[in-house]
Amino acid sequence: MASKFNANAGDRVYKHTLKLKLGGGNFGEVWLAHDEALDQDFAVKLLDPSKTSIHSELQEARVGHKMDHDNLVKVHGADVGQFKGSSVVTLSMDYLPKGSVLTLLNSGNFMPLGDAIRITIDTLRGLEYLHELDIYHNDIKPQNILLGENGEAKLTDYGISAQAQNGQSVAARASYVLHQAPEVTASGNINAQTDVYQVGLTLFRLLNGIGTLEAKHSSLGRAAFLDAATKGRLIGKADYQPYLPSMLIRVVKKAIHHDPTKRFQSALDMRRALEKLAYQGRWTTNAGGELIGCDSKHEYRFEATPKSRGKFDLTTFKTNKKSGRETKVGAFTKKNISESEKNDLQAAFMLKVVEG
């Protein structure tokens, strides 16, 4: 979509010289820009107030300026005026060159469980701070979680956040449909539990595939998608990776429960549940899309070879990282088994790698 601002590298917007376009959409654009007064680079949003209002755009700046936490992106300044004949609101905020957590996805479009848990814990820490200020983020998704200098996760984009009083529910200004909690569909109101729901769906997508929810929305359509979420039928057992431990799945299911009273009642509760989990191994994919497991000493892989009459041979391997020697894992290697037996044995092998 063409930008109404027609901005180019080298253009001056107030005290900022634009350097590199980082992204954009219906709201406007995001640029890496140099603040000539402070001699420092910032990420600068060029916002189109005709899409909402100047008041709404500045609300994001007011919320973001309050942020003083390692897991939240801070907004440092805001301006209102004209640029190339168009009204524009600019917000300058921390520039994080590592981008969003989407850069950590493997070729299978997911990330190893340890990384996903760590990123979610960081996000929940930032969310706890927001909730202490009686602010609901309302737009928690992988694209809005950036990576800091040391790889820490930082929640950003306060464009549709809302200020509450004493932890009460408040009307949502807008919603991200894929992560819309069932009670928001019914009432239009958001609270701490709707943010927890969004964190839960974010964790689900990081663990199982970023595109899972988009595919469901595309196949079902908006109305059926929201209805499935309302009835707790949006995500089923088959949507989870076979190697995910039951305790981790339990955390995700509790966070995204369709009944808000059965969810974690705070970001702190969910963070504590995740911090209790520790796993020795992980699975990821190589450049060719093949699943590869590893722990501190070994790498793991498996081969499933089709035989006649619907049977399979399953061979599992481990490679010593130090010596490079590969051997078969006999307990999970079997010949001439059915497809269901092969799937069960393969899942048991993968889970054993994770849990040790």
When divided into structural domains, the chain yields a total of 3
Same domain, 238 and 202: yes
Contact by Cβ (8 Å): 112, 243 = no
- Together in a domain, 126 and 262: yes
| Residue 86 placed within a domain | yes
Q: Are residues 120 and 265 in the same domain?
A: yes
Query: Quick check: is 7 in a domain?
Result: no
Q: Identify the pLDDT of residue 80.
A: 87
User: Residues 24, 117: one domain?
Assistant: no
Question: Which run of H or E residues covers position 354?
Answer: helix 339-355
Domain boundary among 40, 59, 93: 93
CA-nearest of 305, 309, 308, 317 to 342 is: 305
Does any domain span residue 5?
A: no
257-262 long-range Cβ contacts below 8 angstroms, 24+ apart: 257/232, 258/182, 258/229, 258/230, 258/231, 258/232, 259/232, 260/181, 260/182, 260/183, 260/193, 260/194, 260/197
Which CATH number characterizes residue 38's domain? 3.30.200.20
The verdict on whether residue 45 carries a ligand-binding annotation is: yes
By residue range, what is the domain housing residue 291? 282-355
- 169 with 306, same domain: the answer is no
Task: With respect to residue 6, please indicate whether it lies within any of the assigned structural domains.
Answer: no
Determine, yes or no, domain membership for 2: no
Nearest CA to 266 out of 187, 199, 339 is that of 199
Same domain, 208 and 233: yes
Q: What is the pLDDT of residue 2?
A: 46
Contact 94, 43 (CB under 8 A): yes
pLDDT (tens place) for every residue of the chain, 356 residues total: 445 678 899 999 989 999 999 987 767 889 999 999 999 999 999 988 776 666 666 777 888 888 889 999 999 999 888 888 888 889 999 999 999 999 999 999 999 999 999 999 999 999 999 999 999 999 999 999 999 999 999 999 888 999 999 999 999 988 999 999 999 999 999 999 999 999 999 999 999 999 999 999 999 999 999 999 999 999 999 999 999 999 999 999 999 999 999 999 999 999 999 999 999 999 999 999 999 999 999 999 999 999 999 999 999 999 999 999 999 999 999 999 999 999 999 999 999 999 99
Domain boundary among 93, 119, 148: 93
pLDDT of residue 53: 65
* Domain end point (choices 35, 70, 93): 93
Distance CA 28, CA 278 (A): 41
Same domain for 322 and 191?
no
Q: Indicate whether 267 and 128 sit together in one domain.
A: yes
Residues 79 and 106 in one domain: no
What is the predicted pLDDT for the residue at 179? Answer: 97
Predicted pLDDT at 49: 74
pLDDT at site 3? 55
pTM: 0.93
320 and 215 both lie in a single domain: no
Domain harbouring 229, CATH code: 1.10.510.10
- Residue 123 located in a structural domain: yes
pLDDT of residue 85: 83
Structure tokens at 322: 């130090």
Q: Is residue 1 part of a domain?
A: no
Establish if 345 belongs to a structural domain. yes
Where are any strands of DSSP class E within the chain? Answer: 12-13, 16-25, 28-35, 40-47, 75-83, 86-93, 135-136, 145-147, 153-155, 162-163, 170-171, 189-190, 282-285, 291-294, 298-306, 312-320, 326-328, 334-337
- Are both 213 and 108 inside the same structural domain? yes
| Residues 126 and 248 grouped into a single domain | yes
